[in-house]
Amino acid sequence: MYRIITALSKNRGIGYRGKLPWNIRKDMNFFKNTTSTVLNKKKLNAVVCGRTTWESIPPKFRPLPNRLNIVLSSSMPEEENVTVCRNLNEVHDYIYQNRKKIESTYVIGGTSVYKQFLDNDLVSDVFFTEIDKDYQCDTFMPELDNDKFKLISSKEDSENDVNMKFNHYEYHNSEEQNYLDLMREIIDNGVPSGDRTGTGTNSLFGRMLKYDIRDGKLPLLTSKRTFIRGIIEEMLFFVSGNTDCTKLQEKGIHIWDGNTTREFLDNRGLNHLPVGDMGAGYGFQWKHFGADYKDCKTDYKDQGFDQIQNVINLIKNNPESRRILISGWNPPDLHKMALPPCHLSYQFYVNVDKKELSCLLYQRSSDYFLAANY
């Protein structure tokens, strides 16, 4: 994530005729200190700007010292001591390749560059010097989305009768915050109770979290490490109808190992299943509901009911149906599963007007801190 830093006038102006419209020493110092300061003395910060902003810095002051300078430009020739990137992806690649020596990256303008980073949700912090005066400007700061950015600190100052505030806004991820708040609620109000594993739980019943996955977004948590490769491989494994967890092991994914050992299966009365067999669980119910489960080596082609295909057909051909639903909870089969499903039903809803698809997933039980949201 990137940090934006800018000074703006009362009328949100940031530049005039390729230059700063003001000369405020305290703001220049704030800019220099903020963009140069590092916690880890072995690292440097990087600064990213557009070509026009670069050209607005007097040649004797550039590159900005003690910072890695990056300029976005399609026309500027390569130069010593500055990295010229031809597009945003080149900036990301450069930052990633140099991540061991870069602490933070500051986006320092101008308008077009600020806008691209904001529009692509790439910004974690915004440092605004809000100058309480109108100036003649031809370049303006885009509006910040108040739902996304919250003011976390503000310091007032003045210079030559010009008042200003040094405001720090932080990106606020409300979806992640809801997850964190629910964990807090479990800690504070969870009801102590026993459980199957003998570990004991603090539990709450019937909570809901919502995630907006429009525009190709995947709601991964950032406050804990998520095993993205495992998430994707397990989902593909389920969708294919496979129940042989040794296929996951072969890919270095061991999330099912503990529940498919000889001892675990025997304790569940599944002595006839080979090690690694999860029984008539997720994928089997999704793809072959109603078929007779023997073991994970059996070919169930054309057996049982293919709930996934059914849902796809309904979404395509009868999107207004209120029966677009997959059920993984098959009571007569529960004893044939190493673990009965935790997430067990998925209902789909098509907003025909907006051409949007929603899914409501029901999960009967979840170790919230470890397993929820993976």
Smallest gap, in angstroms, from Cβ of residue 37 to ligand NAP? 18
Q: Tell me whether residue 8 or residue 296 sits nearer to ligand NAP (CB atom).
A: 8
Task: Calculate the alpha carbon distances from 290 to 283, 295, 305, 306, 313 in Å.
Answer: 12, 14, 6, 10, 19
Q: Least distance to ligand NAP from the beta carbon of 319, Å?
A: 38
Q: Which of 49, 296, 342, 359 is catalytic?
A: 342
Residue with smaller CB distance to ligand NAP, 20 or 311: 20
C-alpha–C-alpha distance, residues 123 and 117, integer Å: 6
Got the DSSP string for 238-272? Answer: HHTT--BTHHHHTTT--TTGGGSSHHHHHHTT-TT
For the CA atoms of 90, 92, 94, 99, what is the dihedral angle to 10 degrees? -170
Minimal distance, residue 148 CB to ligand NAP, in Å:
20
Minimum distance, C-beta of residue 66 to ligand NAP, in the bound complex (Å): 19
**How much helix, strand and coil, in percent to the nearest 5, is found in the chain?**
30, 25, 45
Nearer to ligand NAP, 110 or 341 (CB): 110
Q: Is 85 a catalytic residue?
A: no
Query: At its nearest, how many Å lie between ligand NAP and the CB of residue 27?
Result: 8
Cβ-Cβ contacts under 8 Å for 333 (sequence gap 6 or more): 280, 285, 293
- Residue closer to ligand NAP (CB basis): 49 or 326: 49
Q: How far is the CB of 215 from ligand NAP (least distance, A)?
A: 19
Residues 281 and 260: their CA atoms lie apart, in Å, by 12
50/276 with CB nearer ligand NAP: 50
CA distances, 268 to each of 95, 195, 263, 337, 365 (Å):
51, 16, 9, 8, 19
- For residues 107 and 5, is the Cβ–Cβ distance under 8 A? yes
On the CB side of 57, CA atoms within 13 Å amount to 18
Name which of 51 and 343 has its Cβ closer to ligand NAP. 51
The single-letter DSSP state of residue 187 is: H
Tokens at 175, concatenated: 């979806």
Interaction site with ligand NAP (CB under 6 A): 6-7, 14-15, 18-20, 49-53, 56, 72-76, 86-88, 108-113, 116, 139
Is 82:71 a contact under the CB 8 Å cutoff? yes
Residue nearest to ligand NAP (CB): 110
In the structure encoding, which two tokens stand for residue 228, read together? 């993205």
Residues marked active site are found at 342
